[in-house]
């Protein structure tokens, strides 16, 4: 699953693999520099999304769901990207989805019951509850931090060594703070930046990746059933060789032609 966040001069995208019990592996982080109103930039994102990822067990797999933030100054461009790609077929005959999302505050289910179809962009818009989503992921990160190296399990979140300090600074850029609403209704909690101007895209795109997973589930995907079925599934191969690379964080104004290993050589992974 992928999460995509747009800024004035770039798109930032994160790819996360999920297993039994929503155990998560953050796999790739890519920054696409350019004008988000340009189709060329979005074409680069699309090429990255479509690339096959080599699997540790053999064969390749594909991104199954992507959540693209439709907020900010480039909502029309994001909507134009998502509109024709809401549901598409992957080369192995599977299904994949691209969801236009917008973060909303407050309590409730992370994924809405239905999309907002009455908006100026004329695209199904999914208003996700970012505060409970961030509460959930933050709790899982805290639980993961208590593990010994090599441990894992349901809900745990794993990161590759290639994700350096800038990524983790962005990942920890926010905190949950109490917000008072009215004198009678008391207060609730919201996630806010720890300091004005801090970059939080690694955190946001991780949350959007979880949102993409929940959107996939709302369309009939059973994660645990698929994870249990995976070892016996016939590996899908592509005609062209899919090269392996250790460059899990990339920054460019183009898409690297090589696809990163999905799990690859797991000796390079760490838990934080």
Cβ atoms of 67 and 4 within 8 Å: the answer is yes
Its pTM stands at 0.86
For 258, the token pair is 């090589």
What Cα–Cα distance (Å) separates residue 247 from each residue in 30, 255, 258, 264? 10, 12, 10, 12
Q: Phi, psi (5° rounding) for residue 170? A: -70, -35
What Cα–Cα distance (Å) separates residue 57 from each residue in 53, 203, 260, 262? 12, 29, 15, 10
pLDDT tens digits for range 34-44? 999 999 999 99
Q: Which pLDDT belongs to residue 99?
A: 98
Cβ atoms of 67 and 243 within 8 Å: the answer is no
Looking at the predicted structure, is the pLDDT value of residue 209 above 90? yes
Q: Which pLDDT belongs to residue 60?
A: 87
Confidence at 132, pLDDT banded by 50, 70, 90: very high
Give CA–CA dist 25/37, Å, rounded: 31
């Amino acid at each position: 699953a992928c999460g995509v966040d747009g800024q004035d001069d770039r798109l930032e995208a994160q790819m996360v693999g999920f297993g039994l019990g929503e155990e998560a592996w953050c796999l790739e982080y890519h920054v696409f520099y350019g004008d988000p109103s340009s189709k060329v930039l979005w074409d680069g994102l699309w090429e990255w999304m479509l690339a096959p990822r080599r699997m540790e067990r053999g064969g390749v797999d594909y991104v199954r769901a992507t959540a693209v933030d439709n907020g900010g100054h480039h909502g029309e461009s994001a909507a134009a990207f998502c509109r024709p790609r809401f549901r598409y077929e992957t080369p192995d005959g599977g299904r994949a989805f691209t969801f236009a999302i917008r973060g909303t505050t407050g309590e409730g289910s992370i994924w809405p019951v239905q999309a907002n179809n009455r908006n100026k962009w004329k695209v199904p818009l999914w208003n996700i509850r970012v505060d409970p989503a961030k509460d959930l992921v933050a709790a899982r990160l805290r639980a993961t931090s208590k593990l010994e190296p090599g441990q894992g399990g349901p809900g745990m979140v794993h990161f590759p060594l290639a994700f350096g300090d800038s990524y983790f600074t962005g990942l920890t850029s926010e905190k949950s703070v109490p917000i008072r609403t009215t004198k009678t209704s008391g207060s609730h909690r919201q996630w806010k930046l720890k300091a004005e101007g801090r970059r939080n895209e690694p955190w946001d795109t991780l949350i959007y990746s979880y949102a993409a997973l929940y959107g996939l589930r709302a369309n009939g995907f059973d994660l645990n059933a698929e994870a249990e079925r995976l070892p016996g599934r016939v590996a899908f191969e592509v005609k062209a060789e899919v090269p392996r690379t250790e460059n899990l964080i990339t920054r460019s104004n183009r898409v690297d032609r090589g696809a990163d290993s999905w799990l690859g050589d797991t000796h390079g992974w760490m838990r934080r």
